[in-house]
C-alpha cells in the first residue's frame, strides 16, 4: 500500500458564492409572475409587499413570508377577471400603509 497517493479534489482558488439572497423572487413565483422577466414596476411593488408583510421582523424565512401572503390572499378573495394577483395585493398594501400612517398621525395629535 506504499504506492497509493491520495490527492484531494479541491481547487486552490477560493470559490465565491454566486447565491444572492432575494426577497421578491419567491413572492413573484408564488403570484405567477415570470421571475426572469420582472418589470421595474413589478419589482418595486413586490418590494413594498415584502416590506409590509415582513413588518417589524428583522428577518423572515421564505416559507413564513409565503404563508403570510397566502393568508392575505385568502382574506382578499379572488381577483377580478383580467386582474393580476400582484396588483390586487399591492393595492391592499398601499391602502393599508396609508391607513396606518394616518392612524399614527391622528394618534400623535391626540397626545
| pLDDT per residue as tens digits for the range 51-68 | 999 988 877 788 898 999
Longest dimension (CA), the chain: 86
Tell me the pLDDT band of 84, cut-offs 50, 70 and 90: very high
**CA–CA gap between residue 15 and residue 81 (Å, rounded):** 48
**CA–CA gap between residue 52 and residue 101 (Å, rounded):** 13
**CA–CA gap between residue 64 and residue 51 (Å, rounded):** 14
Three cell numbers written together for 99: 391607513
Tell me the pLDDT band of 15, cut-offs 50, 70 and 90: low
Global pTM reads 0.74
3-state helix, strand, coil in the chain (%, to 5): 55, 0, 45
pLDDT, residue 45, reads 94
Ramachandran bin of 57, using left for φ above 0, alpha for ψ from -120 to 50, beta for the remaining angles: beta
Three cell numbers written together for 100: 396606518
User: How far from the centroid of its chain's Cα atoms is residue 53's Cα?
Assistant: 8
Amino acid at each position: 500500500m506504499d504506492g497509493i497517493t491520495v490527492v484531494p479534489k479541491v481547487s486552490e482558488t477560493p470559490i465565491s458564492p454566486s447565491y444572492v439572497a432575494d426577497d421578491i423572487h419567491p413572492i413573484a413565483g408564488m403570484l405567477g409572475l415570470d421571475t426572469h422577466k420582472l418589470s421595474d414596476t413589478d419589482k418595486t411593488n413586490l418590494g413594498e409587499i415584502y416590506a409590509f408583510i415582513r413588518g417589524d421582523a428583522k428577518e423572515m424565512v421564505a416559507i413564513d413570508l409565503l404563508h403570510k401572503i397566502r393568508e392575505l390572499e385568502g382574506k382578499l378573495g379572488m381577483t377580478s377577471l383580467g386582474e393580476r394577483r400582484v396588483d390586487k395585493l399591492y393595492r391592499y398594501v398601499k391602502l393599508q400603509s396609508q391607513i396606518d400612517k394616518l392612524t399614527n398621525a391622528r394618534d400623535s395629535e391626540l397626545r
